[in-house]
Chain A
Amino acid sequence: MTDAVQAPARVALVGNPNSGKTALFNALTGARQKVANYAGVTVERKEGVLTTPGGRTMHIIDLPGTYSLRARSPDEAVTRDAVLGRLEGEPEPDVLVAVADATNLRLVLRLILELKQVGRPFVLALNMYDIAQRQGLRIDLEGLSRELGAPVVTTVATRKRGIDDLVAAADALVIKHEGHASVWHEPSAAEIRAAHGEAQRIMRTYVKPAERPDTFTGKVDGVLLHPAAGLLILGVVLFLMFQAVFTWATPAADGIEAGFKALGELVAGVTPDGLIRSLIVDGLIAGVGSVVVFLPQILILFFFIILLEDSGYLARAAFLLDRIMGFAGLHGRAFIPLLSSVACAIPGVMATRVIEQKHDRLTTIMTAPLMTCSARIPVYALIIAALIPNEKVWGWVSLQGLVMFGLYAIGIVSALLVSFVIQRLFWRRHSEPFLMELPAYKTPDPGGVLLQLWQRAGIFINRAGRIILPLMVLVWVLSTFPYPPEGATGPAIDYSFAGMIGHAIEPLFAPIGFNWQMCIALIPGMAAREVAVAALGTVYAVGDIEGSGLAALEGIVGSQWSLATGLSFLAWYVYAPQCVATLGVVKRETNSWFWPAVMFVYMVTLAYGASFLTFNVAKAMGWG
């Protein structure tokens, strides 16, 4: 064989959503895959590599699922442009693999008729063929292949069946090297109708309908989509999920915290006292640690979301919640990013990619940070423990717990109200039509779940790390320089830039009841919300915040702050954009500084307004 014959080839997977395309991609490439972004757009690009028995290297690209080459979302635009070879920096694929759910062929046949117009050689992979056989569905493979003018192979991606045949078929097409110039154009409604007629004819000729169609999905939906019981079950599922996120993650988070502390001490032991040590220990290690500590929570959350998604339940959740989200002008799918934001707004903002329409996506990004993320918990816990009496109301409800719950509820209601204002008043628009397939229920494939979890964790660490590291250094610089003068008595931070800014903004914050210590704590608190607790510890000089310091700090806050000031601080933390990492992620996901700027301004305005109102109402109630 000559070199030309064994030259590397590019193979792109195209298919409807829920066709098992990603499972097939995993079966083809194993763990040899890379997840990145397409240049200039925030659409995930998955590429893997395999070597054929003949020694050819095949680059496999998993394109976003679509029902049509007519693009309705950024994801689908990537699929269209990749198939047509229009993507910048991406050579056109040599061969396309049309991936079809063998039990649900009608819509994909119409997509294949569109693919034929593109002129690239393609092979049809009838995936989930075992389920089709079990249902007694009979497909005339030879006839179908003749009709479509393309090889047809049957696969069961989750059991790695038919993969060799698929590779061989794709390889044969690469060698044949046929194809014609694209005659594809965006079809009109009439052309889609005509293509449906053609697909219908092909179905009738080559596919005998299932003798034992799936009744399982229908039965399960009878319960899970029941108007009342379905919502109740969804509530229980979400409740259990959060229990898991907060309880299972605690040991791991404690371990990570201890690990970073030990690492800090280790480094402190071997570096000379001074700037470098402070930068590494207080700036980098402590800063990165304060974000990585959320990794266990985020992983558990992702684990549940992947499980719900792969089983088909997430589409049902969107169905059940669509009307409620619709009041706020949001799409049912916006529920996933908002849910993720309860752990941390960073994965929440990243998860808005599932929303097709640009405006809906932007609205969800803008409101996600209002959901109560777990970084707010240490701040809430400190203020509540210090200022809210540990009493029972109505005999059995803890007042402290009630306040905590109230803060979560305010976050959710605020997110919905803000999106209502943006969508209905600001953009004067209704949300995109809700038109979504409810796929048949499936048992998630454990290997696939683990692979996805691994990839998403990698993305989180990578992105968070790149954004957070420079910001941590900035906050460290602000809190460290300049040094206190000789013989200074107050805490060092008081003399730093952070201290100066804190004192400078104090008059601005006096109307909402903040003292200068709180103003200073806000500056390092920009790095991550919970850092404000440690910063308060520093300004009040209570010593080790991990140990006895926290109790001491609670005592100081309890005795020196009025209840009105404490409540005002809580109101501030509900709304304020106290997290530069989130702003950084928003910049990345929207590709502009405009949206993070808008987010910062609107959140600060809301925070100031809410705190002002809270402080003055509380004073009027005699809590000043």
Chain B
Amino acid sequence: MSNADLDAGTPLSLASVGLSGVIVRVDGTRAPGMLEPEELERRLLEMGFVEGARVRVLHQGLLGGDPIAVKVDDMRVALRRSEARAIEVNFD
């Protein structure tokens, strides 16, 4: 993981539909909101957003392209772009 840490990824929140890549970092402090950074990080991890997982943006909502539907390895997960800021991805 230490190598991946050096790789500055792009926040998943900026991704458009169809982009795919590998998660290089999950960092709750990147997405300040109502949750404590550690808590947001744990929730994202529990839903499978973990370093090394493959992600692909499948769909997005009508207004502001929000929320987004993401394929995380074999699972589909919906989340808002505001929380997706915490997930950094090395896009292909």
Contacts and interface: CB of A to CB of B under 8 A. Distances in A.
B74 interface: yes
Interface string A126-161: 000000000000000000000000000000000000
B58 A434 contact: no
Contacts of B33: 430, 433
B6 interface: no
B51 A435 contact: no
Contacts of A68: 42, 46
A187 B39 CA distance: 11
Contacts of B77: 435-438
B60 A227 contact: yes
Count class of interface residues, chain B: 35 or more
B51 A193 contact: yes
A452 interface: no
Contacts of A193: 45, 50-51
A469 to B, nearest CB: 42
Nearest to A439: B76
A107 B47 CA distance: 7
Nearest to B41: A189
Contacts of B52: 200
Contact of A106 (B58, B60, B74, B79): B74
A355 B79 CA distance: 16
Contacts of A431: 34
A323 B41 contact: no
A231 interface: yes
Given A106-B74, A107-B47, A435-B77, A225 B42 contact: no
A320 B78 CA distance: 10
Contacts of A438: 69, 76-78
B13 to A, nearest CB: 13
B42 A189 contact: yes
A322 B66 CA distance: 8
A95 B7 CA distance: 45
A124 B60 CA distance: 36
Interface string A68-87: 10101000000000000000
Given A106-B48, A322-B67, A430-B34, A225 B79 contact: no
Interface centre among B28, B43, B66, B79 (most CB of A within 10 A): B43
A379 interface: no
A221 B59 contact: yes
Interface residues of A, number: 47
Interface in A147-201: 187-189, 192-193, 196, 200
Contacts of B35: 432-433
B62 A228 contact: yes
Contacts of B82: 433
Interface centre among B44, B61, B62 (most CB of A within 10 A): B61
Contact of A324 (B28, B45, B60, B63): B63
B73 interface: yes
A226 B62 CA distance: 8
A480 interface: no
A288 interface: no
A363 interface: no
A323 B58 contact: no
A416 to B, nearest CB: 14
B61 A320 contact: yes
B2 to A, nearest CB: 13
A196 B41 CA distance: 13
Contacts of A491: none
B40 to A, nearest CB: 7
Contacts of B50: 192-193, 196
B88 interface: no
B41 to A, nearest CB: 5
Contacts of B43: 72, 433, 435
A212 interface: no
Nearest to A327: B63
Interface of A: 67-68, 70, 72, 103-104, 106-107, 110, 187-189, 192-193, 196, 200, 210, 213, 217-218, 221, 225-228, 231, 315, 318-320, 322-324, 326, 332, 429-440
Interface of B: 28, 33-35, 38, 40-48, 50-52, 58-64, 66-67, 69, 73-80, 82-83
13 contacts: A67-B46, A67-B47, A103-B74, A104-B74, A187-B42, A189-B28, A193-B51, A213-B74, A221-B59, A221-B76, A322-B78, A332-B67, A438-B78
Given A200-B52, A231-B62, 18 more contacts: A70-B42, A107-B47, A107-B75, A192-B50, A210-B74, A217-B76, A221-B59, A225-B59, A227-B59, A227-B62, A319-B59, A322-B61, A322-B78, A429-B34, A435-B43, A436-B78, A438-B77, A440-B76
